[in-house]
Amino acid sequence: MKLYNINNHNEQVSFCEAVIKGLGSNKGLFFPENLPIFSDKEISDLLEMDFINRSAKILYAYLHDEIPFTQILNFLKIAFNFSVPVVKINHNISILELFHGPTLAFKDFGCRFLAQIIPEITNNKLTIILTATSGDTGAAVANAFHNIDNIKVIILYPYKKISIFQEQLICNLGNNIYPLAVEGNFDDCQYLVKEAFDDKKIKKSVKLNSANSINIGRLLAQICYYFEGVSKIPIFLRKKLVVSVPCGNFGNLMAGLLAKSLGLPIKRLIVATNVNNTVPRYLKSGKWSPQPTISTISNSMDISTPNNWPRIKELFLRKDWKWNLLGSGAVSDKETCETIREVNKSNYITEPHTAISYRVLKNKLQDDEFGLCISTAHPVKFLDTIEKILGKKISINSEKFLFSKNCLSKKAKIIPANLNDLRKVILSLN
Ligand SMILES: *Cc1c(COP(=O)(O)O)cnc(C)c1O
């Protein structure tokens, strides 16, 4: 699979190179030169298959010149080892639950696939994954790469600024996972990571990878669950299917659009954001004007300059799609709370990110359409918030959740927000 840099079409890389590099020169994202398309017959055959075998066929359509089919299949057997249910909420809306992976958020799909391919394409030479997190991504990255040979993972998070659940998911693993609690905020962590990637001494002695959400490996893996969602919808509803996506950095939406580009029957998609609504405003006015980021209860979507947006623009250009393929809406915290209460009347417990997806879908869905609402996180991750909103104690079947005991068995090393200190840690792992 060849990819080009959106900001410099002369820079061309293979899929494996794009996974290792992450970003091209001039901060340009890599974009596939060829966009594969399945015929209608191939699509209906795919929708008959089981999740793992179908997903391998989908990824092979992109990766056939670089990775053998059986190897992709073996990667996916390990990476996608959890269920992907569709739950009916009412006569015209079902929810696609993407939160049954080990860290209870959809980021497990992309990170776990990346954890299979990175050791393979680096020929088992030591790679250090360096990631800054405000919570969820760090948990998914740490969990995905835990105990993978020749990989060491450094997770930077803001000291005392993430939840105890998130801290446990990152810190309790041990072995090749090195959590660092940075005395600063999330922006300080992200800045430190950028500095480390530009540091000559570090570059000279270790191989770094950030495994972040612009990584093409994560995006491709995420296409697969859109097919799984559609396969679980009755055939007669598939022609009028609208999929709603709760958006932050817009990786999830990009994967849904790639699924459509492959030929998956999705009539249109809905962009659902919180009050950080740069894209809904852009779709209405044609003006791109990000505003300062506002904190909300759907904090994984508190992003006002979504880093995958240039890819989405490129895809629309390449496919000659019109923007009316996307519906959109932005939801306040107050409406999010109301929606959590509304959905609970159908005996379903949901959390803030999914509630936003549901709200906008409900507002935009037309009479003859059927809606699939993407759910990105398990409600148990937001138990306190949800109990406050619903005004009652709730019991969620949580026997499999490692953090139910609420104990932090290992502690992160605390460092000042300073490149010298981070560099010392990185070089000591070599
Ligand atoms: C990361 C995240 C999102 C946003 O996904 P993007 O792909 O960045 O748009 C939404 N919900 C949850 C729970 C997340 O962790």
Query: Which residue reads 């989405």 in tokens?
Result: 312
Whether the pLDDT of residue 260 is over 50: the answer is yes
pLDDT tens for residues 19-43? 998 888 888 999 999 999 999 999 9
CA distance 290 to 277: 8
Mean pLDDT, the chain, whole residue set: 93
| CB of 151 sitting under 6 A from ligand 1 | no
Whether the pLDDT of residue 287 is over 50: the answer is yes
pLDDT tens for residues 57-94? 999 999 999 999 999 999 999 999 999 999 999 999 99
| pLDDT value, residue 77 | 98
Q: How far is the CA of 236 from the centre of ligand 1 (A)?
A: 30
The closest alpha carbon to 209, from 288, 262, 150, 282, belongs to 150
Whether the pLDDT of residue 397 is over 70: the answer is no
What residues pair up with 87 in beta bridges, in sequence order? 95
The closest alpha carbon to 107, from 355, 403, 384, 374, belongs to 374
| CB of 353 sitting under 6 A from ligand 1 | yes
| pLDDT value, residue 375 | 98
Q: How far is the CA of 248 from the centre of ligand 1 (A)?
A: 5
Whether the pLDDT of residue 153 is over 90: the answer is yes
| pLDDT value, residue 84 | 98
Name which residue leads in pLDDT, 398 or 225: 225
| CB of 105 sitting under 6 A from ligand 1 | yes
| CB of 276 sitting under 6 A from ligand 1 | no
Whether the pLDDT of residue 399 is over 50: the answer is no
Q: Using the 8-state DSSP alphabet, how is residue 238 labeled? A: G
Name which residue leads in pLDDT, 162 or 222: 222
| CB of 218 sitting under 6 A from ligand 1 | no
Taking CA atoms only, the protein residue closest to ligand 1 atom 14 is 300
| CB of 277 sitting under 6 A from ligand 1 | no
| CB of 252 sitting under 6 A from ligand 1 | yes
- What's the gap between Cα 35 and its chain centre? 21
| pLDDT value, residue 401 | 53
| CB of 251 sitting under 6 A from ligand 1 | yes
pLDDT tens for residues 108-128? 999 999 999 999 998 878 999
| pLDDT value, residue 405 | 52
Q: Region 326-331: what's the mean pLDDT? A: 98
Q: How far is the CA of 363 from the centre of ligand 1 (A)?
A: 21
Mutate to test the pocket of ligand 1, among 97, 104, 107, 270 (most ligand atoms within 8 A of CB): 107
Residue 377 Cα: closest atom of ligand 1: 13
Name which residue leads in pLDDT, 184 or 266: 266
| pLDDT value, residue 133 | 87
Give the number of C-alpha atoms closer than 13 A to the C-alpha of residue 374, restricted to the C-beta side. 27
| CB of 278 sitting under 6 A from ligand 1 | no
What residues pair up with 207 in beta bridges, in sequence order? 127
From residue 430, alpha-carbon distances to 203, 321, 419 in Å are 12, 47, 17
Q: Using the 8-state DSSP alphabet, how is residue 180 labeled? A: E
Residue 381 Cα: closest atom of ligand 1: 13
CA distance 290 to 282: 9
Provide the pairing of β-strand 370-375 with 93-97. Answer: parallel
Q: How far is the CA of 424 from the centre of ligand 1 (A)?
A: 32
pLDDT tens for residues 408-418? 677 899 999 99
Taking CA atoms only, the protein residue closest to ligand 1 atom 2 is 300
Mutate to test the pocket of ligand 1, among 133, 134, 257, 353 (most ligand atoms within 8 A of CB): 353
